[in-house]
Homo-oligomer: A and B are copies of this chain.
Amino acid sequence: MGSLMSGVAPVEHNTQGIAPVLDANTTPQEAREAFRRGVVRPTCGIARGFAQANMIALPREYAFDFLLFTQRNPKPCPILEVLDPGNPKPSIAAGSDIRTDIPLYRVWEHGELVDTCSDITDIWARHDDLVTFLIGCSFTFEFPLMEAGIPVHHIEAGRNVPMYDTSIACKPAGRFSSTMVVSMRGIQPDRIADAVRISGYYPSVHGAPVWVGEPEGIGIPDLQHPDYGDPPIMKDGDIPVFWACGVTPQAAVMASQPSFAITHAPGHMFLTDIPDRSFMV
């Protein structure tokens, strides 16, 4: 799966020959329109200041179990919006359509990845009761970290954040169980307290870290080989700091094998119109 999850250099595959510049100054609406036209690229660095969201859509029969899973595991699965069954129009992004506005989707059957595509309109039409969950993303507190003078190395290097499967058990709910996926950022010892404090102000986008230090303690054998995203950049003296990650629902899909699911591809997020600062408590 690595090829789908790594490589965030802004290579654009535009099916209609248009090459819009997508950067920090792009509005969320402009970016969604570009993705709708067929642009495929990771979303880190686009539309600075607006929240990005993880996505999973499941048949109605799984919706209660999964919503309960998110309620019991708010650190990896902080809910931003749950759409009514069959509704593809999120309210947190004006004029948006969840079937077309994410740059890259993954389609799952019985826990197996069966397709990767940039538009799910046809697939959606064959399922009339999909319930879409939009889940907060740690990209939201990365800019506040940087504004406080805490370097976020993967952003400076134009890479995707490294993400890892762990041995941390999520609380099960009905048919869903999973271990937690985490994202990692290397931080100097004198800034860890600030990173904890600042990210802690954003509980609805994963909040404070779940683990600081030794990766082995949470079942990560090799920091240089993340399960998702790009290898980390660790500076001298950096301590690895781990945050709960919104890719956890995809681990739950693999572990729990619902008959059908659609998710975003890691790093290819849904751009909302919600300012990051509105999540600060």
- Complexed CA–CA distance, A258 and B186 (Å): 51
Interface string of A61-91 (1 = CB under 8 A from B): 0011001100110000001001010000000
With a cutoff of 8 Å between Cβ atoms, the chain B residues found around residue A82 in the complex are: 68, 71-72
From B67, B84, B203, B281, contact of A71 by CB (8 A): B67
Say whether chain A's binding surface is mostly helix, strand, loop, or mixed. helix
Interface membership of A275, Cβ < 8 A: no
Interface membership of A20, Cβ < 8 A: no
CB of A174 to closest CB in B, whole Å: 7
From B64, B79, B203, contact of A63 by CB (8 A): B64
Copies in the complex: 2
Interface string of A259-281 (1 = CB under 8 A from B): 00000000000000000000001
Residue among A68, A79, A203, A281 facing the most chain B CB atoms (10 A cut-off): A68
**Within A218-257, which residues are at the interface with B (CB < 8 Å)?**
none
With a cutoff of 8 Å between Cβ atoms, the chain B residues found around residue A79 in the complex are: 71
- Complexed CA–CA distance, A6 and B118 (Å): 58
CB of A49 to closest CB in B, whole Å: 23
Interface string of A142-182 (1 = CB under 8 A from B): 00000000000000000000000000000001100000000
B203 touches A281 (CB 8 A): yes
From B64, B84, B281, contact of A67 by CB (8 A): B64
CB of A184 to closest CB in B, whole Å: 25
CB of A68 to closest CB in B, whole Å: 6
With a cutoff of 8 Å between Cβ atoms, the chain B residues found around residue A281 in the complex are: 203, 281
A-B contact pairs, 13 of them (CB 8 A): A64-B64, A64-B67, A67-B67, A67-B68, A67-B71, A68-B82, A71-B71, A71-B79, A71-B82, A72-B82, A84-B174, A203-B281, A281-B281
Chain A residues with CB under 8 Å of chain B are 60, 63-64, 67-68, 71-72, 79, 82, 84, 173-174, 203, 281
Among all A-B residue pairs, the 8 with the closest Cβ atoms: A64-B64, A63-B64, A67-B67, A68-B82, A71-B79, A71-B82, A281-B281, A64-B67
